[in-house]
Amino acid sequence: MASVEVESLPAFPFIGPDSNPFIPVGESDLNRLGGPVGKVRLPFGGWAWLMTRHEDVRQLLRHPGFSSDQYRPGFPVLNPIPPTREGASGLFIFMDGEQHSRFRRMLTAEFMIKNIRRIEPLIEETVVDALERMRAIGPPVDLMSEFALPVPSMTICHLLGVPYSDHDFFQHHSAVIMDRKSGPEEIDGALGALDGLLGELIAFKRTSPDEDLLSRLVAERVVPGELREDELKSMAMLLLVAGHETTANMIGLSALALLEHPECLDALRADPGLAPGMVEELLRYVTVVRTGLPRLAMEDAEIGGQKIRAGEGVVAMLSMANRDASVFQDPEGFDSTRREAHRHMAFGFGLHQCIGQPLARAELRVALLELARRFPGLKAETTLADVPKRHMAVTFGLGELPVTW
């Protein structure tokens, strides 16, 4: 495609209107798209197809002919990536085929609902501690830094077996990796720092194993020679990073959405059994992985009536698929009792569908229930227009959420 033509395409990623964090795509971007499947201009050069319909996104994400490997030439890169693949030997989110499933299989059982139930008391303790600390600070407080960010980071650190004293270090470096404004060198530096600490931790788990995921993977996979230590390090890094910003932004934006609908908070207090359904609708309505999921066509294919040629890039825009009127009635509205909410694709779809979703759902359910219960007079000290928005590399979230009670 000639560069002049690419210049005339709508620039991607879309940045929603500043007036409302719950509108994923502004009117002007929607008008420029001109249809459910169209071409967009990528931030680091080139173009890609954009898929926005629910069914097209499903088709794309389950199609084995599309690659997730961002190091392949022609991959539709949406975020700055480290210049080399070094240190990425276990980042299976960017792998295809057998290479991908080899790593994923090692974690499937760990993240199954029954295993997540076992750590629910710990999630509850983490949530309650953070909320009571917040109460002790006194209003107004920033719900993002005091609650939404520490809860998922403490939970994943605990699951992996990262000691409490290293928690701030992990939170800081994972934020650098996920920040769209971080340059490749900064990301490299943060990856190096995490790599160093994880190396020390793994060495420690070899001699002093405990009841945690790292210890289990060392004993069951590394020691028998099934998994290399560098692979385990980057696998752990993926879990730390993937489980942190996503869940934190979901907690923050969900709290804001519920504060905009106080009747839902009342209903939650009266009937905690409403929480799982409400969480599904929040996942749909918020869709923190707003930019979408990039893929590279490895073979000719047809998605949503559009012929896609091998070597072309495609982006599955989850936030728009989750607002598809053919699946969700009145899709722009928030309806906490929506029956079809579970059809959302906030966790992706197909081979790479989020492995941490049972954990994320448990964290969200406990966090929102306890917030409603313990802070019945909670109010946002900001408006939808004024609340600082943050467009991170992969996720969308709030810079802060000032609240009072």
Distance CA 397, CA 249 (A): 5
How far CA 123 is from CA of 120, 151, 168, 221, 362, in Å, comes to: 5, 8, 18, 27, 8
Number of residues that bind ligand HEM (CB under 6 A): 24
Q: Which residues contact 108 (CB under 8 A, 6 or more apart)?
A: 355
DSSP-derived 3-state class of residue 275: helix
Q: Which is nearer to ligand HEM, 182 or 395 (CB)?
A: 395
Indicate which single residue of 218, 354, 378, 403 sits in contact with ligand HEM (rule: CB under 6 A): 354
Which helix (H) or strand (E) covers residue 357, if one does? helix 357-374
Q: 3-state DSSP helix/strand/coil percent for the chain, to nearest 5?
A: 55, 10, 35
Among residue numbers 57 through 86, which ones bind ligand HEM (CB under 6 A)? 68
Q: At what angle do helices 275-286 and 245-260 cross, to 10 degrees?
A: 110
Closest contact distance (angstroms) between CB of 270 and ligand HEM is 25
Number of residue whose CB is nearest ligand HEM: 356
352 sits near ligand HEM (criterion: CB under 6 A): yes
Q: Which is nearer to ligand HEM, 59 or 247 (CB)?
A: 247
The rounded Cα 279 to chain-centroid distance in angstroms is 15
DSSP E strands in 306-398: the ranges are 306-308, 313-316, 379-380, 389-391, 396-398
194 sits near ligand HEM (criterion: CB under 6 A): no
331 sits near ligand HEM (criterion: CB under 6 A): no
Cis amide bond preceding 140, omega within 30: yes
User: x/- site string to ligand HEM, residues 292 to 321, per CB under 6 A?
Assistant: -x----------------------------
Indicate which single residue of 359, 362, 366, 368 sits in contact with ligand HEM (rule: CB under 6 A): 359
Q: Which is nearer to ligand HEM, 14 or 92 (CB)?
A: 92
285 sits near ligand HEM (criterion: CB under 6 A): no
Q: Which of 313, 278, 352, 405 is nearest to 101 (CA)?
A: 352
Indicate which single residue of 134, 289, 297, 308 sits in contact with ligand HEM (rule: CB under 6 A): 289
346 sits near ligand HEM (criterion: CB under 6 A): yes
User: x/- site string to ligand HEM, residues 152 to 191, per CB under 6 A?
Assistant: ----x-----------------------------------
The residue type at 75: F
Q: Which is nearer to ligand HEM, 68 or 215 (CB)?
A: 68
- Is residue 49 classed exposed, middle or buried when 0-12, 13-18 and 19+ CB atoms within 10 A define those classes? buried
Indicate which single residue of 72, 104, 216, 221 sits in contact with ligand HEM (rule: CB under 6 A): 104
- Number of residues in the chain: 405
Q: Which is nearer to ligand HEM, 104 or 373 (CB)?
A: 104
Indicate which single residue of 70, 215, 234, 246 sits in contact with ligand HEM (rule: CB under 6 A): 246
Give the interface segment with ligand HEM, choosing from 11-19, 48-56, 73-81, 237-245 (CB under 6 A): 237-245
Cβ atoms within 10 Å, residue 52: 24
Binding site for ligand HEM (CB under 6 A): 68, 92-93, 104, 156, 238-239, 242-243, 246-247, 250, 288-289, 293, 346-348, 352, 354-356, 359-360
